[in-house]
Amino acid sequence: MFESAFNSRALTIVAVALALTLSSGPASAKKKRVFSVEDLYKVGRVSQLAVAPNDDLAAFAVKTFDMKTNKNVTHLWIADLSSGKSRQITNAEKSDWAPRWMPDGRLAFLSARSGKPQIWAIHLDGGEAVQLTDLPLGIDNFAVAPNGEHVAAVISVFPKCETMKCNDRKAQAKESDKVKARVIDKLLYRIWDTWLDERRGHVIWIPLNGGEPRDLTPGDMQTPPHDLGGHMDLSISPDGDEVVFTSNTTANPAWNTNNDIFAVSVLSGEPRNLTAEHEGCEAEPIYSPDGKYISYLAMERPGFEADRKTLMLYDRKSKKRIPLTDSLDRSVYSYSWAPNGKNIVFYAADLGRVSLYKVSVPSGEVKKLVDKGVNSSPQVTSDGRKIVYLGQNMSSPTEVYTVKMSGSRIKQISHINDDLMGRIEMGNFEDIEYKGANGDKIHGFLLKPPGFDPKKKYPLLMLIHGGPQGAFGDSFHPRWNMQMFATPGFVVAAVNFHGSVGYGQDFTDSISGDWGGKPYEDIMKGVDHVTETYSFVDGDNVSAAGASYGGYMVNWIMGHTDRFRSLVSHDGVYELVSMYGSTEELWFPEWENNGTPWDAPELYEKFNPANHVKNFKTPTLVIHGEHDYRVPYTQGLQLFTALQRQGVESRLIFFPDETHFVQKPQNARLWWNSVLGWLADHADLKWTPPGKQFGKKGKRKGKVKKIAGRRGSFRNR
């Protein structure tokens, strides 16, 4: 539930400065430098791939950051898959996102350039974008009907309003009301970083050539569900007569995962629940190209958000459910149909990587196609010969790639980041394996710092992933970037302890009810393995850092060992009982701890870091965001108070304008410089921000200003 390197929401990677287009020369001719925070915020964050249904083209989004203005903007690009050339096609001051192809070859997208997000479209041969919708409310998501005359859009509306004008009046009245008190009658009342109110996400059928929009999901129905939805929980049938979507219509969505697949006629009738007999989580429905099936992802066990996701088919005629990927002991994260309907391509976490697969329909025969790096968003070209996808690895940010349907001839298509990355010296990494708890094989990564000299001794930094059902992978993470952690001169280790995904569902299940058990043993044995195996690692100079569940584990570590020189706890769970009472999705702690604190208090007490305060000795940096509703910031305040009261060297960095994640560029710069400064100081490293070459051990120059309580990510917790 907490932050993870394989979080499906977190697999999108952030974008470059717009000035960086194609590679401008061989990297060997350029003087390389060490990676800096400023470089990280020039990196190309490429996402939202959309392959054209009738042409050899792909659209994608590129988000760019401006450190000076502390803002970001997203623009759309087009890649010619035949020539391998890419070009930017939108350049408005406001962001453009969510590209969708129209039958006439135009590219539709969402943009806030006229105020609230609306649907726009642009011709690829030039000209200005044209606004297609002009509604008083902003559009959250949309799908284009096969005939191009309608769209199905998700819009947050007031359920009692029957017209857009009514919704507009209510929204304006709410905005102008001087009383901002919230009157709350039931759970959920907030999610991730957002307070909820009476508004609900509804599917609105919108004619593009005039006419009144029609609400297809009136009443107290929310789509997509507040959490555990898919990449795209909205699809229109090939004949244009029906829409499928995902919703949780139970009376208690705060403590169950019972998302269902619904279908509704665009002309009349009530939404029909297609998976009502199943209490697990279903999401991401898509019609097959011939309309025979509705595919979707399903988890079997109710209440367990990290259960294996199986790709399913719903036969619209027989109403039977057909599991397609039962033979694969991996979760399917997202997928798309081949145009001929004979295959579905998808991606899944796999042994520290995220691999691409295809499965035959309806036989269920699965084949792995791409197994290097971390890959996502696979889509098949109109001729059925190639798969277009987004790929990255630990040394290279996300770009657009193609591979043949056979899995051969991988080709990089976009080159948004080539120029920048060609100027930076990256550390080399390798896979590591050792025996952890129960003698089970534990996999991880070891990254050496830039300028590595095998004759020298380096301090070790152990990174701890979130989730806890997450994993560290061969990826260029936009926040917890392993290359950045190595820059002061650390050897960085990241191990996938019991509970990690990509190693089989039994391995993932093994952390539930054992938060401080096997994972802690795996991490400590990982420290022993690295320090005893690699002569260049200083076993007396070890630090650790983690976020979300990784922050929990840091908090657990400080009460059980003094092995570490220093620790960093970002948005970590500290006190399990108060955490239960202030987090938003109760199914998570109830599953992980076998019930509520009053009915089943044993695990809440057994694995509660707050019960071991008297053992705290390690210097610790505590970081939290005020708008983190998953792991509320009071967890961090409690931890800092305990450290201070015990006389332990500690520092609190509190961000009043951040959530579970630190995302604003200037806040991120403060975060990185503070974290690396804290770790480097306690490891006796000389380190000078922003990213200048490190030198001999000793005091670093330009000491980061101490911040203790100054005003200023547990899902994937």
User: What local confidence, expressed as pLDDT, does residue 710 receive?
Assistant: 28
Q: Is residue 280 part of a domain?
A: no
CA distances from 399 to 375, 475, 635 (A): 10, 12, 37
User: What local confidence, expressed as pLDDT, does residue 112 receive?
Assistant: 94
- What is the Cα–Cα distance from 98 to 117, expressed in whole angstroms? 11
Which pLDDT band holds residue 23 (cuts at 50, 70, 90)? very low
Q: Is residue 114 part of a domain?
A: no
User: What local confidence, expressed as pLDDT, does residue 30 receive?
Assistant: 56
Q: Is residue 465 part of a domain?
A: yes
Segment (H or E) for 678: helix 665-682
Which domain range does residue 603 map to? 424-711
**Single-letter residue type at 443:** H
- Token pair of 681, please? 């100081």
Which pLDDT band holds residue 126 (cuts at 50, 70, 90)? confident
User: What local confidence, expressed as pLDDT, does residue 16 receive?
Assistant: 33
Residue 29: phi and psi, rounded to 5, are -85, -5
User: What local confidence, expressed as pLDDT, does residue 27 receive?
Assistant: 42
Burial of 211 (0-12, 13-18, 19+ CB in 10 A): exposed
Residues with active-site annotation = 548, 628, 660
Which pLDDT band holds residue 31 (cuts at 50, 70, 90)? confident
pLDDT at 503 over 70: yes
Q: Is residue 619 part of a domain?
A: yes
Strands (E), 557-630: 567-570, 620-625
Which pLDDT band holds residue 8 (cuts at 50, 70, 90)? very low
**Bridge partners of 262?**
245, 273
Which pLDDT band holds residue 252 (cuts at 50, 70, 90)? very high
User: What local confidence, expressed as pLDDT, does residue 44 receive?
Assistant: 87
- What is the Cα–Cα distance from 287 to 344, expressed in whole angstroms? 12
User: What local confidence, expressed as pLDDT, does residue 288 receive?
Assistant: 98
Mean local confidence (pLDDT), 322-335: 97
User: What local confidence, expressed as pLDDT, does residue 699 receive?
Assistant: 39
Mean pLDDT of the chain: 92
Contact between 452 and 477 (Cβ < 8 Å): no
State the DSSP string of 369-416: EE-SSEEEEEEE-TTSSEEEEEEEETTEEEEEEEEETTS---EE---T
Contact between 354 and 332 (Cβ < 8 Å): no
User: What local confidence, expressed as pLDDT, does residue 690 receive?
Assistant: 53
- Cβ within 8 Å of residue 211, ≥6 positions away: none
What is the three-class DSSP state of 501? coil
Q: Is residue 625 part of a domain?
A: yes
pTM of this structure: 0.92
- What is the Cα–Cα distance from 684 to 697, expressed in whole angstroms? 6
pLDDT at 9 over 50: no
pLDDT at 597 over 60: yes
Q: Is residue 87 part of a domain?
A: no
3-state SS of 634-665 is HHHHHHHHHHHHCCCCEEEEEECCCCCCCCCH
Of 495, 491, 496, nearest to 539 (Cα)?
491
Task: Name the pairing type of β-strands 458-464 and 537-547.
Answer: parallel
pLDDT digits (tens, 9 = 90+) for 278-309: 999 999 999 999 999 999 999 999 999 999 99
Q: Is residue 102 part of a domain?
A: no
- Percent of the chain scoring above 90 in pLDDT: 90
Contact between 89 and 62 (Cβ < 8 Å): no
- What is the Cα–Cα distance from 148 to 160, expressed in whole angstroms? 30
- Vertex 558: Cα angle to 557 and 562 (nearest 5): 95
pLDDT at 28 over 50: no
User: What local confidence, expressed as pLDDT, does residue 19 receive?
Assistant: 34
User: What local confidence, expressed as pLDDT, does residue 127 receive?
Assistant: 84
Mean local confidence (pLDDT), 578-596: 98
Instruction: Give the number of domains in the chain.
Output: 1
pLDDT at 693 over 60: no
Gap between the terminal Cα atoms of the chain: 5
User: What local confidence, expressed as pLDDT, does residue 3 receive?
Assistant: 52
pLDDT at 2 over 90: no
pLDDT at 667 over 80: yes
Q: Is residue 149 part of a domain?
A: no
Q: Among the listed ranges 160-174, 284-298, 385-399, 677-691, which one has the minimum average pLDDT value?
A: 677-691
Domain containing residue 497: CATH number? 3.40.50.1820
